[in-house]
């Protein structure tokens, strides 16, 4: 097993095998069966491209052989930072075939995040687009190569450029190695198939090792509760590397079932609705902010969306009004609330749950061996319907983040339950209701932002004495971040200056605070800590007053 990965205890692994959750096949072996079974069927639709299962198999074989030829080996880590294009899927499959481990980076990540992923994982390659807008991804990779000695390869989507391999050319260029070379590669199903990323509370990224055994089961069991079959068509609008659109059931689950996947780089309502109508899409995955935007656009009425059967929503809680509006405007579609985490555990509202249950809860676990405990602050289990921290373990929930034993000791109970940091209660029906968070995170439209990470960056500004970042309510995104700041004597700091300063730290733009409050002091809890609850309440009241008066404004 790759050093730094925390294994499942032997007795649990044995039970998961006995119950059929783990079948000790690699993802490459799982896909081999699928590619043969559905060879002639269309698997992937990307812009004007239509790719069959057989073509997807041959393209990923060819890329896998070319990756072997340039020196990639089993267990090599590769940072993948690509938009929603077919090349992502081909690369993901090719890495599975050689036992490489993709690290699922997001397009907004910048030097600060990507360099940390590379250093923590020992990654040997980064795969990036050439340029988007005014940002040069290749220049970023070149800087990382100079900083981190393990990083040998830069691979760029599109034409090659000096010092970089071309992903497109490696997919198309006939490999010199025979296909039989792939059969000689030995991959252990208990090793990681992918590193997903955690929205952890510290500024240091956490890598989530998802094994071949658990990630395959994750997609299969999610497919069953989302009614995915051969005639199902998934439209991927959310970032392709996220756990939800990739594997819950996501692209992986739809391919496992012989379905079709439509990729979109645009989340504009007109584009989304046109794709649903054109390809007779049956399933889409959204966060509430995206669904709200979609429902309030005239495109919903202009297009035939009657093929749509399931709108799968996750990332943040959805207001009942949004669900009711969706039913009125798209009556064919069931809004299926879910609660999931890249670390593992998935909860889904079932398609036959009563209306009040589907509107009040985020569902229940998908596997009989998903163990859930609701714990109080003293780690005592809450057996009634009271609120506590969700802790979980099961056949597809990690036993530890990669390479951080000290953090793992705090984040897992002594008997292996993952402390999620989410506050939940058990509904009378056995489903669960989200009641907030224990961890210090801001949930901006489904993207989890570490308050501590941004606070530490703000504290490096010469005018700042202390900083506290808190969530404030937003009707569309759920939450936005407000930076509360104490200034040094005679110092000044404006909102635009703060934004420019933080952008200079080369972090993802979605992490930049959207409001600044200059304060004289911070409210304290009885234990002498900054009371973020009081800060949020105070600023929320101020924002409500601004809205009633002369309109909302950032300070």
Q: How far apart are CA 27 and CA 189, in angstroms?
A: 8
Nearest to 336 by CA among 150, 327, 410, 344: 327
Using the structure block, give the residue that is written with the tokens 């399931």. 310
- Is pLDDT of 527 > 60? no
Q: 249 preceded by cis ω (within 30°)?
A: yes
Do residues 374 and 431 touch, judged by C-beta distance below 8 A?
no
DSSP-derived secondary structure letter, 429: T
Q: Span 461-467, mean pLDDT? A: 91
Q: pLDDT digits over 376-422, tens only?
A: 988 999 988 899 999 999 999 999 999 999 999 999 999 999 999 89
* pLDDT given for residue 15 in this prediction: 98
Q: Span 2-8, mean pLDDT? A: 95
Q: pLDDT grade, residue 448 (50/70/90)? A: confident
Q: pLDDT digits over 187-239, tens only?
A: 999 999 999 998 655 566 799 999 999 999 999 999 999 999 999 999 999 99
Q: pLDDT digits over 495-514, tens only?
A: 999 999 999 999 999 999 99
Q: pLDDT digits over 87-105, tens only?
A: 999 999 999 999 999 999 9
Mean pLDDT, the chain, whole residue set: 93
* pLDDT given for residue 71 in this prediction: 96
Query: Which helix (H) or strand (E) covers residue 224, if one does?
Result: helix 212-225
Q: pLDDT grade, residue 554 (50/70/90)? A: very low
Q: pLDDT digits over 50-60, tens only?
A: 999 999 999 99
* pLDDT given for residue 383 in this prediction: 83
Q: pLDDT grade, residue 248 (50/70/90)? A: very high
Do residues 66 and 173 touch, judged by C-beta distance below 8 A?
yes
- Is pLDDT of 551 > 60? no
Q: Is 490 exposed, middle or buried (0-12, 13-18, 19+ CB in 10 A)?
A: exposed
Residue 210's DSSP bridge partners are 194
Using the structure block, give the residue that is written with the tokens 């890495």. 95
pTM above threshold 0.85: yes
* pLDDT given for residue 465 in this prediction: 87
- Is pLDDT of 552 > 50? no
Q: pLDDT grade, residue 246 (50/70/90)? A: very high
* pLDDT given for residue 553 in this prediction: 38
Q: pLDDT digits over 282-340, tens only?
A: 999 998 888 988 999 999 999 999 999 999 998 777 778 888 899 999 999 999 999 99
Structure tokens at 184: 């000689």
* pLDDT given for residue 158 in this prediction: 86
| Strand order across the 165-166 sheet | 165-166, 153-157, 125-129, 77-80, 101-104, 192-197, 207-211
- Is pLDDT of 38 > 90? yes
* pLDDT given for residue 528 in this prediction: 64
Please count the other Cβ atoms lying within 10 Å of the Cβ belonging to residue 345.
Answer: 25
CATH numbers and ranges of domains, the chain:
27-38+49-188 (3.40.50.980), 223-437 (3.40.50.12780), 441-548 (3.30.300.30)
Q: 268 preceded by cis ω (within 30°)?
A: no
Stretch among 106-110, 227-231, 548-552 having the lowest mean pLDDT = 548-552
């Amino acid at each position: 097993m790759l050093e730094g990965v925390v294994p499942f205890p032997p007795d649990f692994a044995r039970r998961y095998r006995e119950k059929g959750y783990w079948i000790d096949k690699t993802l490459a072996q799982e896909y081999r069966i699928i590619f043969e079974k559905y060879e002639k069927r269309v698997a992937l639709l990307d812009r004007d491209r239509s790719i069959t299962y057989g073509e997807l198999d041959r393209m990923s074989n060819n890329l896998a052989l070319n990756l072997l030829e340039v020196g990639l080996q089993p267990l090599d880590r590769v940072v993948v930072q690509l938009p929603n294009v077919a090349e992502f899927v081909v690369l993901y499959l090719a890495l599975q075939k050689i036992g490489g481990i993709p690290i699922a980076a997001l397009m907004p990540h910048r030097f600060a995040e990507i360099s940390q992923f590379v250093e923590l994982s020992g990654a040997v390659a980064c795969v990036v687009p050439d340029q988007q807008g005014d940002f040069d991804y290749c220049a970023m990779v070149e800087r990382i190569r100079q900083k981190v000695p393990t990083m040998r390869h830069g691979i760029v989507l599109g034409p090659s450029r000096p010092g970089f391999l071309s992903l497109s050319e490696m997919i198309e260029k006939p490999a010199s190695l025979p296909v039989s070379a792939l059969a000689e590669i030995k991959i252990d199903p208990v090793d990681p198939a992918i590193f997903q990323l955690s929205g952890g509370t510290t500024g240091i990224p956490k890598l989530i090792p998802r094994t071949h055994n658990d990630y395959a089961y994750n997609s299969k069991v999610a497919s069953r509760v989302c009614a995915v079959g051969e005639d199902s068509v998934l439209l991927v609008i959310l970032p392709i590397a996220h756990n939800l659109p990739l594997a819950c059931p996501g692209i992986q689950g739809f391919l496992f079932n012989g379905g079709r996947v439509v990729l979109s780089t645009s989340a504009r309502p007109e584009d989304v609705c046109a794709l649903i109508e054109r390809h007779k899409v049956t399933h889409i995955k959204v966060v509430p902010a995206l669904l709200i935007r979609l429902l309030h656009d005239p495109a919903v009425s202009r297009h035939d969306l009657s093929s749509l059967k399931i709108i799968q929503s996750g990332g943040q809680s959805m207001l009942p009004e949004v669900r009711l509006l969706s039913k009125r405007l798209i009556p064919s579609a069931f809004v299926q609330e879910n609660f999931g985490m890249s670390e593992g555990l998935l909860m889904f509202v079932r398609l036959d749950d009563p209306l009040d249950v589907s509107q009040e809860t985020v569902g229940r676990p998908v596997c009989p061996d998903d163990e859930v405990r609701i714990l109080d602050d003293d780690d005592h289990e809450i057996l009634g319907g009271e609120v506590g921290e969700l802790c979980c373990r099961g056949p597809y929930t990690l036993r530890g983040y990669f390479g951080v034993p000290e953090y793992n000791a705090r984040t897992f109970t002594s008997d292996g339950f993952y402390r999620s940091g989410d506050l939940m209660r058990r509904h009378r029906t056995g489903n669960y209701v989200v009641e907030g968070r224990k961890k210090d995170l801001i949930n901006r439209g489904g993207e989890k932002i570490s308050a501590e990470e941004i606070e530490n960056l703000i504290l490096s500004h010469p005018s700042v004495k202390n900083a506290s970042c808190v969530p404030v309510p937003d009707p569309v995104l759920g939450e936005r971040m407000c930076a509360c700041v104490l200034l040094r004597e005679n110092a000044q700091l404006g909102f635009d200056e703060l934004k420019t300063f933080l952008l200079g730290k080369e972090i993802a733009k979605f992490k930049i605070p959207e409001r600044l409050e200059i304060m004289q002091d911070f409210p304290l809890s009885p234990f002498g800590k900054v009371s973020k609850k009081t800060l949020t309440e105070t600023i929320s009241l101020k924002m409500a007053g601004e809205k009633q008066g002369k309109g909302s404004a950032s300070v």
